[in-house]
Amino acid sequence: MTLRILLADDQALLRATFKILIDSTDDLRVVAEAADGAQAIEAARVHRPDVVVMDIRMPGTDGLAATAAICADPRLAGTRVLILTTFEIDEYVAAALRAGASGFLGKDVDAEDLLAGIRTVATGEALLSPTATRTLITRFLAAPEPGAAAAPERLAELTAREREVMVLAAQGYSNSQIAEQLFVSPLTARTHIQRAMMKLSARDRAQLVVIAYQTGLVQPTPPAQRRL
């Protein structure tokens, strides 16, 4: 199956470079481009891409607002957003994940990692670059935004095992690592993750991580233990 990609970046040269790279593969194809967030929202609604490669800093509607609009649109439930930006700092990581992004990479990423990142988020897995570490997530996602619905009651439908795998996923463990920790198969670990996502109406693994911290299922790392 060929994955359909939307490129959203205000730099035409960069979009052209990414398009050549993506279209050179057998399983990825660029179906639309956008120069700002408003265009990205419209193009997403028209083309229903599998993945939007989204810049943060764009004129008018920025990438974070566009990401939030795309992820909130029920017609685009199958669309994932991969944030690609030069502004790979703490607040942007948290804001992008809160907006619904499935992944976050710096623009200095090499070609193979970019293509791998697109494929990763398309499958519903979370993708964070090395700079967007587990510590940053615990620090900035643990406190919900004002008015956010983050009550622990949201977790009431989860089984004990589903909560357990959710905690490990939020701590950055892959399905294989979760399987090793719990002495189950990777398929079983993946099944528990998927069931937790379904019960919590999480779009993907990244949103599951957000919910884990904002409901208090996973506690932030104490300041003394953080490595900045």
Q: How far apart are CA 80 and CA 162, in angstroms?
A: 23
**Where are the CATH 1.10.10.10 domain residues in the chain?**
147-225
Q: How far apart are CA 112 and CA 206, in angstroms?
A: 22
Specify the higher pLDDT residue, 140 or 10.
Answer: 10
Q: What is the pLDDT of residues 57-106, one digit of tens each?
A: 898 999 999 999 999 999 999 999 998 877 555 567 677 778 888 888 87
Instruction: Inform me whether the pLDDT recorded for 182 exceeds 80.
Output: yes
> What pLDDT score was predicted for residue 50?
97
Q: How far apart are CA 124 and CA 36, in angstroms?
A: 25
pTM: 0.73
> What pLDDT score was predicted for residue 134?
52
> What pLDDT score was predicted for residue 128?
61
Q: How far apart are CA 56 and CA 67, in angstroms?
A: 9
CATH class of 3-132: alpha beta
Instruction: Inform me whether the pLDDT recorded for 53 exceeds 50.
Output: yes
* Other Cβ atoms within 10 Å of 161 Cβ, number: 15
Phi (first) and psi of residue 42, to 5 degrees:
-65, -45
**Where are the CATH 3.40.50.2300 domain residues in the chain?**
3-132
Mean predicted lDDT score pLDDT of the chain: 83
CATH class of 147-225: mainly alpha
Instruction: Inform me whether the pLDDT recorded for 174 exceeds 90.
Output: no
- In 3D space, the residue among 54, 53, 4 whose CA is nearest the CA of residue 25 turns out to be 4
